[in-house]
Structure 1
Amino acid sequence: MFQWLHETILNWAHAIYEFVPEYLLWLLLPFFILFIFPIFLVFFIYGCVIFVHIYGHRHQIREAYHTSYWEGARVAIASFWDGVGNVWHGYELRGIENVPDEGSALFIYYHGCLPLDVYYLISKLVIHKNRSLHCVGDKFIFKIPGWRPLCKLFSITSGTVEECTEELKEGNLLCIAPGGVREALFSDPNVYDILWGKRLGFAKVIIGSKTPVIPMFTENCRESFRTPEWGRSFFRWIYEKTKIPLCPIYGGFPVKMITHLGKPIYFDFDTVTPEEVRKTVKREIRMMIKEHQRLPGSVWRGIAQRWSSTSSKKKNSDEPEQAELLQRNGAGTTSPTSDSEDIVVLRRDRSGVEDDDDEVDELGGI
């Protein structure tokens, strides 16, 4: 690999030398030395750091290759993304103890602009739990050239309600973002609004598989990458008409990212309705946003958190007041007891903002 990279760089340099006048090369050399070379140098250094991180997992990678050729590839890629998360976003995972060592669980999460947090979570679970996290993805990602083998390797599917239910019954871990692409591209980073509409597909999966739900939220997931405010309504109109995600994205900011996994939520699966499941899970996600995300969202604050040793502490001095407001809004406990129906009843009185979408079985996705 390194020999190929070395030969590629030499070929590029030779091509540039042939087609660019020599006087222009000498003219641009100071600019290259002062501005371009330091950028390449930083990328090379971070590449070495990521390589060292991967090398630290070399024993796991070797064992995985002995088990299965594809399992080795999965662990190697997971080690790479785990290194990227540590280096660039100082990524942390809190609540991993809520993930069962065996058996099924369904992760329901708020969708950031790009699902980097899901990539990092998959990597953590592969490395530290030796478990694969299956994901529901939007249909358009399977149409991108070259992505299908990677989706197959990491069990990413655009599965139906029946397929997802069957996966959970088989004892797998599965994650779904009910907001899907709509939430990813058009949620406001100032308020982190949840755009689930009236989707019921994920709720039917929960009831059909009788699986506990692990709510998930990642701090600053909308600060690393963003969509521009200008033209957002126009791009959303295009998406609603065509389902094509044409909205531009910018960013790559090194903000602090911390994924929080909540306690598993259990329901009385024999009596609960899909509408009640959706409302309960949605409120849990909203509570996590209020607890862990400082609003309005700020890229600069996220970067400051990345380099601060005291990141992810309590956000405001008025948190007791916020906690009181949450209780008024019907935030109950989610302990796994037989009173799961009471959890739903506690939350029925809370009015929330719903989208105008028709009631559908769509699952959303990464």
Structure 2
Amino acid sequence: MINESKSYTSGQESVTNSTWLIYILKEWIGMVYHCPDYVGYFLCVSLIILFFPHLLWFIICVFCNICLHIYKRKNGLDDDFSNKLWDNGRLMVSRIISMYGKLWHGYEVHGIEKIAEGPALIVYYHGATSVDYHFFVCNLYIQTGRVSYSVVERALRLIPGLQLYLKLLTAVYGGREQCVEILKKGNLLGVAPGGARESFFSDENYGILWGNRKGFAQVAIDAKVPIIPLFTQNIREGCRTLGTTWFIRWLNERFQLPLAPVYGGFPVKLRTYIGDPIPYDPNITVTELVEKTKIAIEALRDRHQKLPGNILKALLERFDKHQKDD
């Protein structure tokens, strides 16, 4: 902390030529006052590049939440999201999110015609963030009018300013029984079996980290629905984590904390590819279905993702007009 009684006028560098943020950064990292100002500016620019896109995404989600509250009050709606009057609000939010995806990432979705009428379980690879899945859900609604329920981390319920947004995009916090019920009613449901572990500890080689998680396969079998694999090109280049560093791995092993710092938000090219559905088979076992789904997502990855991923190449793909075949 900066001591308020400290004099800034005697024998010390004046801060009048530097912003308060630069001064605090210098204090924080213990820099001597005669350190050139350009170092402080470099630190500021670096922090903005690494963390501002995350803040921007959060601001957009909060903005959508505010718009929904205004829409809700203007139309006298309650939280019954089956009410058709909510459709315009859902479309409004979908267009805002879709516009952000198009402007910042040149987002595209390929193979949406593979999602046939009727229920299905959508299984996707979880990048450092799931922003690509948000883009997919919104584009799906814009193009087909279909709503996809989404299994999300329970911790998201604690984040203020997002609750109406999450409810309208049909976030699911429940367990296996709720998921089966949603599918039996004819809905789509999206899930990332790797969850937080895959998000934090996978890397630019896009390894699938599902561990022993088989619940999604049991849900598909119980609900008698097909599984649709989904993979987004360059999602690991958009955001990176420090989960592969020895210190973060040590913390995770020592305290069992599935947590790692995330940085980036780079405007890389993002393309979501939808694979061929894996049809319901009454004779398949849970273990076999898990392996079959994993192979399908790895096939999408190997076909559409250059390994290992490279941030610069992913950025340059924004200017590449020759996209890969579906």
TM-score interval, smaller chain: 0.7 to 0.9
What letter matches 1:255 in structure 2? V
2:320 corresponds in structure 1 to 308
Instruction: Quote how far apart the aligned CAs of 1:152 are.
Output: 1.5
Q: Of residues 138, 161, 171 in structure 1, which corresponds to 2:186? A: 171
Change (3 A) 1:277 1:297: same
2:100 corresponds in structure 1 to 84
2:136 corresponds in structure 1 to 121
Query: TM-score, structure 1 length as denominator?
Result: 0.65
Q: SS of the counterpart of 1:223? A: helix
2:206 corresponds in structure 1 to 192
* Kept after mapping to 2: 8 A contact 1:107/1:216: yes
Q: Of residues 90, 94, 98 in structure 2, which corresponds to 1:74? A: 90
Instruction: Quote how far apart the aligned CAs of 1:272 are.
Output: 1.3
1:250 corresponds in structure 2 to 263
1:24-63 mapped onto 2 (5 Å cutoff) = 24=16
Question: Whole-Å Cα distance in 2 between the matches of residues 240 and 152 of structure 1?
Answer: 34
1:130-209 mapped onto 2 (5 Å cutoff) = 130-189=145-204, 191-209=205-223
Instruction: Quote how far apart the aligned CAs of 1:105 are.
Output: 1.0
Q: SS of the counterpart of 1:198? A: coil
1:272 corresponds in structure 2 to 284
* Kept after mapping to 2: 8 A contact 1:95/1:262: yes
Deviations 1:213-257 (A, max 9, x none): 11100100111011136x634434545676655311111111111
Question: Whole-Å Cα distance in 1 between the matches of residues 103 and 240 of structure 2?
Answer: 20
What letter matches 2:214 in structure 1? L
Question: Whole-Å Cα distance in 1 between the matches of residues 18 and 298 of structure 2?
Answer: 58
Unpaired runs of 5+ in structure 2?
Answer: 1-14, 21-37, 39-43, 65-70, 78-82
Q: SS of the counterpart of 1:259? A: strand
Q: SS of the counterpart of 1:192? A: coil
Change (3 A) 1:179 1:91: same
User: Residue 221 in 1 paired to residue 235 in 2?
Assistant: yes
Question: Whole-Å Cα distance in 1 between the matches of residues 222 and 287 of structure 2?
Answer: 14
Change (3 A) 1:249 1:282: same
Question: Whole-Å Cα distance in 2 between the matches of residues 156 and 222 of structure 1?
Answer: 23
Change (3 A) 1:135 1:145: same
Deviations 1:61-119 (A, max 9, x none): 9xxx897443222111110011011111111110010112x310111111111111111
RMSD between superposed Cα atoms in Å: 3.1
2:8 corresponds in structure 1 to none
Q: Percent of aligned pairs with the same residue?
A: 39
